Each structure stands twice: as C-alpha cells, then as structure tokens.
Structure 1
C-alpha cells in the first residue's frame, strides 16, 4: 500500500455532499499514532473507543463524540463498536473559514459532556445520518444546511486557532513516524533515527514519550502488532511467519504484547473470526 495512503488515510469524498459520512463497525482493536489531512468527527453509537492525543486520554461511549483537527497525532484503542464518522476536507472548510487546518478542538476545557451545546451537536450528527441514508428530495440542501450549522457550533464553541509556528515540532515528529512505518519490519534503533532526523538521541527519546505517549521502542512494537493483527485476521499464514515478516523476531515477547493489547492470542482471534465473533472493519 502507498505510504501516503497508510499514513494519512486518504479517502474518497461523497461527491454529492462534499464531505465523507459513513458508518464504521470495528472489532476489538488498536490503531497506532497517525494523523489525517481532514477534520474528523466521530460519534460512538455502540461500544467504546478511547482516543489518545495531545496529552488527552478520552474514552467515548454511546452518543459521545470527539473532533480531531487536521494534522493532529492520535491513536485509538477500542472495544467492538459502531460509530458514525464525518470527515470534512480542509479545502471544503476553507471556503468558509480561512486556515481551518490550524483549528484545534477542545470539548472539555470550557464545556462539560452532555451540556446543551454538546447534546445539540449530537442531535445534528444523528439528523445528518438520517438525511443521507433516506435521500429524500432536496436531501443535499438539508444535509448541507445542517452541516453548516454543525461546523459553526463546533468552531464557535470548541475551536482554538494555532499559528503555523505551533506546528513545527509535530511536523518533524511526523517525519520520524513515517520513517518508522516504512522501516518497522527491520531493526530500528533510536540512535539511528535521531541521526537521520538531526535530533539528539536523549532529546528525541523525551519528546517522543511526551508527544506520542509511549517510548520509542514501544511505538515500534505497536506498529508491528497492528500489522500482525491485520494479517492474523486477513490471511491463513502461520503465526510465526507473520511475526517474522513484520519484524517481531522475539516471538515470546511479541505473543505477550499481542495478548496484552488485544486480549487474546493470535490463534484465539482467528477462531473467533471463523466462528463469526469478529467482523472486519468496513466503511
């Protein structure tokens, strides 16, 4: 898969309404730190999803939502869940709000969950879903009018606008993350990466732990385990072969980490899939 696609989750816009809206169904799982080039709004319908970003650790349950700005580094851990996802391209929002790529959203600093504003936005998201599913005459106008009101409410109540200089350190760190995603199957050292990206190794270690939330070595293992998880569910190849292909050469340690992260061994997950207990993520 193309590296840009993997890292930025490029998506096809719903051409009739200008943004992407879809229902996501996911099994138990984890997504390592990544970012988008759009603003993403996720409303959990069933189950539980935890978002980790910018020193936040936010767990969402039924009828709770989060807004992740463009370029924000974030990771997710989830139980089996169903969620409504609305993705707003930066070029779309820039027609109405300049430099929307610099918007950051904090739903907790000035408001509490489930206050009037929060519940009103939840209602808008639910309404937009029904409008788009039903596609009655004039649905594009109705959808667009609710979308404009939704974006207005989010920006006026929850947004903070950064300056371009605020993004410099994260941009450097994203280059490191992209390198890890490209080279994770090989043996990667902190010193090697620090030299490649002109960091002092001790400084990179500190900034990585502070911004990413885990150590450099732990993150590499998370990336490997995510790739292993996809192959365990998507192929019939031997588990040891999958581990070796993705750079997890210490099988005993990798097995331990896999079970800690996903709650089951690879073989147990395969059996659940065969029995219909886990469904693939689809949009």
Structure 2
C-alpha cells in the first residue's frame, strides 16, 4: 500500500545531489498550513513576525529569533500571524543514508533556547550565502555546511532515541491511506463508512484510531483541509464567498465560520474587506 505523504515538499535542487531539499527564505502573509506530516526533518527560523506552530498537541508562538525543529513523522501545522519572514530547511532522511543510518531513530530537541537558536542560525546564514554564490566551489561549501549543521544537531541537540516500531510511526502509517483519501476528496461529501472501508474497520473504530494516532478527531482534520483551501481561494480569487464555500465542500456555514474564526480570528467577510482595502 502506498505510504501517504501529506505535504509535498518543494524540491529546491540548488546542486545535483542524490537527494532533494527545500531551503529558502519565505516571505508571506497569513499563510496557513493544515496538519500534515512527512519523512523530512524540518527546521524553521523566524527572521521577522509571528508564527503559531503546533506539533502534535504542543503549541508554540514563534517570534523573531525563535527556531523550531520538527522531527520526521510528527503531525504539525502552522499559521502566520500577519506578515512573517523565516528560513525554512527541509531535509529528507535519505540524505543520511550511508552517513548516519540511525537517523530514523533519533529525536532532536524541538524548541532550542534563544542562545542555541542563534548559534544554529549562524550555520543557516552561511548556507544561504553559499546558495547565492554560484561559484563551483560553493557547491562543496554548501554540502559541508549542511552536514556540519546536522552534526551540531546530532551531537548537541539529540534528546532521545526513538524505538523501532514506535506507536507514533506505526500509527501514522496505519491511518495514512485515510489521510491520503481525505486530502484528495475533501471538496466532496465524505462518508465515514467509505473512509472506514479503507482500513477494513467500522466507522467507530476508524474514528478511534484516527484520534489515537493524530491527537485530533477525523472531523477536525477534514475541517483543517477545508479551511486551508477556502483561505487560499479567498485570497487568490474574486469568487463570491458562497461559491468558495461550495467548492471547498462546506455545507454547515455556522460550524465552518466558528472554526475559521478560531484559526484566523476574523470572519471571511472581514478578511476579504481588509484585502480589498489594502
């Protein structure tokens, strides 16, 4: 069965490596990334602004100079609080094949302290300079800095070892077909019976499994996908709000607005009005 990868990592092939990474400075406003997971280690360093970040049930408000390290196979989401600039590095576990084969069993410190984040940022800053400089020798410099950065993480920020076959890893792979199906079909009406059939269990058991392994209900996950799609369309199209609601599979307007306001603090009408006035 195909393993689900909810977030499609944008491959930034700066050099012809045997693996693909995403490494860039992101400048955006009010971007919302719903709950997802991937087989990458993700590092985010805030240059400017505020970001609400959730890793499983742990919540963080990241501000200037803060860093977060998301270990692979952990469900997480993020929301920019207005305008924010940040460095984003996503490296697949395959980057360590034959170099550090135990990487799959490692947990890195999730929220470095201020001084620690500043030290790690210095590596990211040098890596950015190497990327910007297209001289051939800087390919070697970049790769050297990348692995040196992870050497620092693995020697100073490793908090514990994951046990092979941990509950989290098993659970994510257990329900990944359901998440893949919902990601594809969330704009349509989704029956719990149809989703449960994917796992060959009852609807009630499917809901229990989903809650157990994701720390959220099935309906919360479905709503997060619809909110994200709705918000992107609200910003990028001139369609009527009622049309966007329909295209995103939203039928219960009151419930949706309540959850939308929890996420963004405002109604869609207010957000669109502010966009048109800017």
2-structure distance, mates of 1:247, 1:105: 38
Displacement of 1:230 in angstroms is 1.1
Q: Paired residue for 2:96, among 93, 99, 121?
A: 93
Q: Is the 8 A contact 1:49 1:61 kept in 2?
A: yes
What's 1:149 paired with?
A: 148
Displacement of 1:32 in angstroms is 1.5
2-structure distance, mates of 1:156, 1:54: 25
Runs in 1 of length 4+ with deviation above 6 angstroms? none
Structure 1 unmatched runs, 5+: 277-283
What's 1:113 paired with?
A: 113
2-structure distance, mates of 1:202, 1:253: 22
What's 1:175 paired with?
A: 177
SS at match of 2:207: helix
2-structure distance, mates of 1:68, 1:94: 19
2-structure distance, mates of 1:61, 1:210: 31
Displacement of 1:255 in angstroms is 2.9
State how many pairs are aligned: 270
Q: Is the 8 A contact 1:27 1:79 kept in 2?
A: yes
Q: Is the 8 A contact 1:64 1:122 kept in 2?
A: no
| 1:122-271 matched pairs, under 5 angstroms | 122-135=121-134, 138-159=137-158, 160-166=160-166, 167-271=169-273
Report the TM-score, using the length of structure 1 for normalisation.
0.82
Is the alpha carbon distance of 1:259 and 1:54 closer, same or farther for their aligned partners in structure 2, counting shifts above 3 Å? Answer: closer
1-structure distance, mates of 2:45, 2:220: 29
Structure 2 unmatched runs, 5+: none
Over the residues paired in the alignment, what is the CA RMSD in angstroms?
A: 2.8
Q: Is the 8 A contact 2:42 2:70 kept in 1?
A: yes
Is the alpha carbon distance of 1:246 and 1:199 closer, same or farther for their aligned partners in structure 2, counting shifts above 3 Å? Answer: same
Is the alpha carbon distance of 1:58 and 1:65 closer, same or farther for their aligned partners in structure 2, counting shifts above 3 Å? Answer: same
Is the alpha carbon distance of 1:230 and 1:204 closer, same or farther for their aligned partners in structure 2, counting shifts above 3 Å? Answer: same
Is the alpha carbon distance of 1:171 and 1:6 closer, same or farther for their aligned partners in structure 2, counting shifts above 3 Å? Answer: closer
Is the alpha carbon distance of 1:60 and 1:95 closer, same or farther for their aligned partners in structure 2, counting shifts above 3 Å? Answer: farther
